[in-house]
Amino acid sequence: MEIKVENVTKTFKRTEALKNISFTLSGPKIYGLLGRNGAGKTTFMDILAGHQLASVGSVYINGKTPFDNRSVTKDICMIKEGNNFQKEMKIKDILKTCSFIYEKWDQPLAEELAQMYNLPLKKKLKTYSKGMSSAVGIIVGLASKAPITIFDEPYIGLDAAGRKRFYDILIEQYEMEERMIIFSTHLIDEVSLLFEEVLILQDGELMVQENADTLRQKAFSVTGDEKVVREFICNKHVIDTKRIANMMTASVYGDKAEAEAFGLQVEGIPIQDLMIYLTEKKRGA
């Protein structure tokens, strides 16, 4: 499965939600699509899922455009943080409807997960709590086994135990039958170890597309005497700096071994912190 995004811009009245972004995704792989509120993540996912058209540019999935194209969208399952299903529907009817939509639908898995999350199948969705409604979306996303599965903040209202259960099942199912999974979330620390590749958007622009292991290896902080730190970071990609007395901590993107050779204290930067640093308004990419 390959997704090509070519010079995509999306404008709502006078606001540009996406600004001339281009990149390629190929699977199977688990992608983390990260960014602050208003970065353009959901707009991009809506275009990818065929729910919207780009104002300029194109998105191709295996060479075909998804908008109004059932031959493409049948392979895409997008679960948002809410309003995925009609609230008047019973859960058993939601699952039955999904079995007609998704070619690889796994009904036994859907029923197993419904039991795991204690969801009464004969009750209407409108009677469910927010957490239970989120569980329904998670079940559909997992049981769809869609070649492209998109989770956009899928677990609003779920407690920590419910979220962990979701992560564990997602990895288990991914290992059994790989697919392309695109995951957008603000709870980055909880799921960052799942990511194989990371994309970071800011104000509609693509700032970073990088292998997750590379990010973990090359993004780090150094701490030591200010003069030594300044010497080390000269001509480096510096993300952030802090000074306390004659000591300095700098967050950089580079070679850890070189930092250690300077005698500096070296610590990795979590992907969540890296995203925050890179998307600070006062800093450049």
Domain ranges of the chain: 2-203, 214-278
**Would strands 2-12 and 15-26 be described as parallel, antiparallel, or unpaired?**
antiparallel
pLDDT at 33 over 50: yes
Residue 61: its H or E element: strand 56-61
Amino acid 176: pLDDT: 92
Q: Rounded to an integer, what distance in angstroms lies between the CA atom of residue 4 and that of residue 92?
A: 36
Amino acid 30: pLDDT: 96
Give per-residue pLDDT as tens, 152-203: 988 888 888 989 999 999 999 999 999 999 999 888 888 888 999 999 998 9
Whole-number percent of the chain with pLDDT over 90 = 61
Q: Rounded to an integer, what distance in angstroms lies between the CA atom of residue 24 and that of residue 215?
A: 18
Amino acid 23: pLDDT: 96
Amino acid 56: pLDDT: 95
Helices (runs of H) and strands (runs of E) counted in the chain: 11, 13
Domain 2-203 has CATH 3.40.50.300: yes
Comparing 236 with 75, which gets the higher pLDDT? 75
Q: Rounded to an integer, what distance in angstroms lies between the CA atom of residue 42 and that of residue 29?
A: 19
Q: Work out the average pLDDT over 103-127.
A: 93
Query: What CATH fold (topology level) applies to the domain 214-278?
Result: Alpha-Beta Plaits (3.30.70)
Amino acid 131: pLDDT: 87
Amino acid 285: pLDDT: 41
pLDDT at 133 over 60: yes
Long-range contacts of 208-213 (CB under 8 A, 24+ apart): 208/278, 208/285, 209/23, 212/32, 212/271
Q: Work out the average pLDDT over 132-140.
A: 92
pLDDT at 282 over 50: no
Model confidence at 284, pLDDT cuts 50, 70, 90, reads: very low
Q: Based on C-alpha coordinates, what's the Rg of the chain?
A: 21
Model confidence at 151, pLDDT cuts 50, 70, 90, reads: very high
Query: Where does the chain have alpha helices with state H?
Result: 41-48, 70-73, 91-101, 107-116, 130-144, 160-176, 188-191, 212-218, 226-233, 256-261, 271-278
Amino acid 283: pLDDT: 47
Amino acid 145: pLDDT: 95
Handedness of CA 275, 278, 282, 285 (dihedral sign): negative
Q: What is the mean pLDDT of the chain?
A: 90
Comparing 156 with 80, which gets the higher pLDDT? 80
Q: Rounded to an integer, what distance in angstroms lies between the CA atom of residue 125 and that of residue 187?
A: 25
User: In this structure, what are the phi and psi dihedrals at residue 71, rounded to the nearest 5 degrees?
Assistant: -65, -20
pLDDT at 61 over 50: yes
Segment of 96-100, 239-243, 266-270 carrying the highest mean pLDDT: 96-100
Which residues does 42 contact at the CB level (< 8 Å), separation at least 6? 80, 152, 184
Q: Work out the average pLDDT over 24-29.
A: 92
